[in-house]
């Protein structure tokens, strides 16, 4: 179980201490009971997470043969979406197919594999990248006490997320996106989906139950607004 914050939010660094982590986690009523068991380790902080993608083919020509990037070695984003295994295993099947087709031709193998990766997997990397940037902008606005800026490019997707709690089709669509079964455009293009989401456009999302920022700072043993560094 993880508590995720914005890089540069100095106050939340206190979460690396087990007692602080436990009191913060217990302040979220819908997940508090998840930590009723015996811990099997200390808190494991994780930072310096990169959004990174590697491609060994440039201008249709491989820069190396005999080596291909797979799984996290190909791309990584923040792990909160839990997509790494799905995409890694999917990509392993692309490599299997490319090897099957071009075992005797190292150049074609690398080009074929890179092309399939670009076509099928890069949209998922891009999706997560966009989502991270949206989320970081939301975090930053909340931390700085600014209203959330409307983002027309993602208005429909935000409407989908708002609708998840009371519309089963929206919920199915959202979990298809989350589970790497369908990209957002595909879900939003489903018959009737845009109509059913129109009522949710621009509607502010109700925050899940949990502490306010000031209550969180008190749990972290800190008071006052903390500076937020640029970037995420
Ligand atoms: C905290 C966290 C939670 C996550 N939760 C989920 C989740 O719920 N669902 C999900 O789908 N994904 C999740 N992920 C992502 C997922 O773990 C990764 O995407 C996935 O493990 C990538 O697989 P991989 O084989 O590419 O790399 P890895 O699993 O990292 O495997 C690489 C292996 O190579 C070994 N290695 C490294 N260097 C060398 C070397 N020089 N010689 C020999 N061996 C070496 C390493 O020890 C390691 O065993 C999570 C990631 C993190 C960090």
Would you list the DSSP string of 84-142?
HHHHHHHHHHHHHHHHHHHTT-HHHHHHHHHHHHHHHTHHHHHHHHHHHHHHHHHHHHH
CA of 72 to the centre of ligand 1 (A): 7
Residue 226: what pLDDT?
Answer: 45
| Distance from C-alpha of 116 to C-alpha of 181, rounded to nearest angstrom | 17
pLDDT number for residue 222 = 63
Residues 92 and 141 reside in one and the same domain: no
What's residue 50's pLDDT?
A: 84
**139 part of a folded domain:** yes
CA distance 75 to 5: 21
pLDDT in tens, the chain (232 residues): 888 888 888 999 999 999 999 999 999 999 999 999 999 999 999 988 888 999 999 988 999 999 999 999 999 988 888 899 999 999 999 999 999 999 999 999 999 999 999 999 999 999 999 888 888 888 888 888 887 777 777 788 889 988 998 899 999 999 999 889 999 999 999 999 999 999 998 877 777 899 988 999 999 986 544 444 444 4
Shared domain for 80 and 111, answered yes or no, is: yes
Verify that 63 and 86 share a domain, yes or no.
yes
**H or E, element range at 57:** strand 57-58
Domain co-membership, 113 together with 64: yes
Q: Ligand 1 pocket: which of 47, 53, 72, 125 to mutate (most atoms <8 Å of CB)?
A: 72
What global pTM score does this model have?
0.86
> Same structural domain for residues 58 and 102?
yes
Q: Which range marks the domain in which residue 193 is found?
A: 132-206
Q: Whose CA is nearest to atom 11 of ligand 1?
A: 85
Q: How far is the CA of 157 from the centre of ligand 1 (A)?
A: 29
**140 part of a folded domain:** yes
Strand partners, 53: 75
How far does the centroid of ligand 1 lie from the alpha carbon of residue 25, in Å?
A: 25
For residues 66 and 93, membership in a common domain is answered with yes
139/113 same-domain check: no
Give the per-residue pLDDT at 137: 87
Contact of 120 with 112, CB cutoff 8 Å: no
Residue 10: inside a domain, yes or no? no
Instruction: Find the 197 Cα to ligand 1 centroid distance in Å.
Output: 37
Instruction: Using the atom order of ligand 1, give the atom closest to the CA of residue 73.
Output: 26
Residue 24, domain member (yes or no): no
In a domain, 127, yes or no: no
What is the DSSP-derived secondary structure letter of residue 205? P
Taking the C-alpha atoms of residue 112 and residue 174, their distance in angstroms, rounded to an integer, is 31
Instruction: Please answer whether residues 140 and 148 qualify as being in contact, where contact means their C-beta atoms are separated by less than 8 angstroms.
Output: no
Q: Whose alpha carbon is nearest atom 5 of ligand 1?
A: 82
Report pLDDT for 40: 93
79 & 136 share domain: no
In a domain, 197, yes or no: yes
The rounded Å distance from CA 46 to ligand 1 centre is 14
> What is the Cα–Cα distance from 173 to 200, expressed in whole angstroms?
15
Alpha-carbon distance values, 140 to 30, 87, 145, 198, 226 (Å) = 24, 29, 8, 27, 11
Determine the residue of 41, 44, 79 to mutate for testing ligand 1's pocket, defined as the one with the most ligand atoms within 8 A of the Cβ atom: 79
Residue nearest to atom 25 of ligand 1 (CA): 71
Pocket of ligand 1 (CB under 6 A): 46, 71-73, 79, 82-86, 88
Query: Is the separation of the CB atoms in 124 and 74 below 8 Å?
Result: no
| Together in a domain, 145 and 201 | yes
Statement to judge: residues 196 and 137 lie in one domain = yes
Per the structure, the count of domains in the chain is 2
- 93 with 152, same domain? no
217 within a domain of the structure (yes/no): no
Tally Cβ neighbours within 10 Å of residue 109.
Answer: 21
Residue 45 lies in a domain: no
């Amino acid at each position: 179980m993880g508590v995720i914050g914005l890089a540069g939010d100095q106050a939340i660094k206190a979460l690396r201490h087990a007692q602080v982590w436990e009191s913060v986690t217990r302040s979220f009523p819908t997940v508090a009971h998840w930590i009723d068991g015996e811990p099997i380790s200390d808190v494991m902080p994780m930072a310096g997470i990169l959004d990174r993608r590697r491609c060994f083919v440039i201008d249709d020509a491989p820069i190396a043969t005999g080596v291909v990037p797979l799984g996290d070695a190909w791309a990584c984003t923040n792990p909160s979406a839990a997509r790494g295994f799905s995409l890694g295993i999917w990509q392993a099947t692309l490599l299997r197919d490319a090897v099957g087709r071009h075992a005797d031709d190292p150049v074609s193998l690398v080009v074929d594999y890179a092309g399939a990766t670009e076509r099928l997997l890069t949209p998922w990397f891009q999706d997560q990248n966009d989502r991270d940037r949206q989320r970081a902008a939301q975090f930053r606005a909340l931390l700085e006490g600014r209203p959330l800026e409307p983002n027309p490019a993602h208005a429909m997707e935000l409407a989908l997320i708002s609708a998840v709690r009371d519309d089963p089709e929206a919920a199915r669509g959202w979990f298809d996106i989350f589970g790497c079964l369908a990209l957002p455009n595909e879900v939003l293009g489903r018959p009737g989906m845009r109509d059913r989401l129109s009522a949710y456009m621009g509607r502010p999302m109700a925050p899940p139950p949990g502490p306010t920022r000031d209550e969180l700072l008190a749990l972290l043993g800190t008071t006052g607004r903390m500076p937020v560094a640029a970037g995420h």
